[in-house]
């Protein structure tokens, strides 16, 4: 099983999701990417790394990359952090490819909401709470 977590910058939400999910489901191949190009090559945002490290997740080795249409064939499941990500991913879907793209919070107890972007809200712990809850749900669904 190969799962790709996608957000906008690939420096806050999706690397945190990758780190949490790797911890929870080590047998699953997890990766992350951003729909935007601005932070390609950068490590996760400092405050996100710190909030994750406080919960035992080491994100320091991760580096941002941009989502591409090839990812549809490299992964079995693509997880978007919010509805805008989901739309930007779907725009790149190749013909004949049926790889599902689901909202991460579809797996969380309070479905319907999305993972608020802590780059803007500054609520890194709130984002991690949702990411941990959704990760549990995702793991149970596999």
Active site residues: 7, 13, 117
Spatial CA neighbour of 91 closest among 108, 106, 78: 78
**Sign of the alpha-carbon torsion through 55, 3, 65, 63:** positive
Size of the site for ligand 4NP (CB under 6 A): 12
Q: Minimal CB distance to ligand 4NP: which residue?
A: 9
Q: Is 117 helix (H, G, I), strand (E, B) or coil?
A: coil
Spatial CA neighbour of 94 closest among 65, 73, 66: 73
Q: Write down the least CB distance from residue 116 to ligand 4NP, Å.
A: 9
Q: With binding defined as CB under 6 A, does residue 11 bind ligand 4NP? A: yes
Residue with tokens 């790797």: 22
Q: With binding defined as CB under 6 A, does residue 62 bind ligand 4NP? A: no
Residue span binding ligand 4NP (CB under 6 A) among the ranges 4-12, 19-27, 95-103, 106-114: 4-12
- Cβ neighbours of residue 61 closer than 8 Å, sequence gap 6 or more: none
Q: Write down the least CB distance from residue 73 to ligand 4NP, Å.
A: 23
- CB of 10 closer than 8 Å to CB of 32: yes
Task: Enter the tokens of residue 125.
Answer: 């712990």
> What x-and-dash track marks residues 106-135 binding ligand 4NP by CB under 6 A?
-----------x-x----------------
Q: Which residues bind ligand 4NP (CB under 6 A)?
A: 7-13, 34, 38-39, 117, 119
């Amino acid at each position: 099983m190969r799962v790709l977590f996608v957000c906008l910058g690939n420096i806050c939400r999706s690397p945190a999701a990758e780190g949490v999910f790797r911890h929870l489901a080590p047998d699953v191949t997890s990766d992350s990417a951003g729909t935007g190009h601005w932070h390609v090559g950068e490590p996760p945002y400092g405050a996100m790394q710190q909030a994750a490290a406080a919960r035992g997740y080491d994100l320091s080795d991760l580096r941002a990359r941009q989502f591409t249409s090839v990812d549809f064939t490299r992964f079995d499941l693509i997880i978007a952090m919010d509805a805008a990500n989901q739309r930007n991913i779907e725009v790149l879907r190749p013909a004949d490819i049926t790889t599902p793209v689901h909202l991460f919070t579809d797996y969380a107890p309070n479905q319907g909401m999305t993972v608020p972007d802590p780059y803007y809200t500054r609520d890194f712990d709130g984002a991690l709470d949702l990411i941990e809850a959704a990760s549990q749900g995702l793991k149970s669904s596999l």
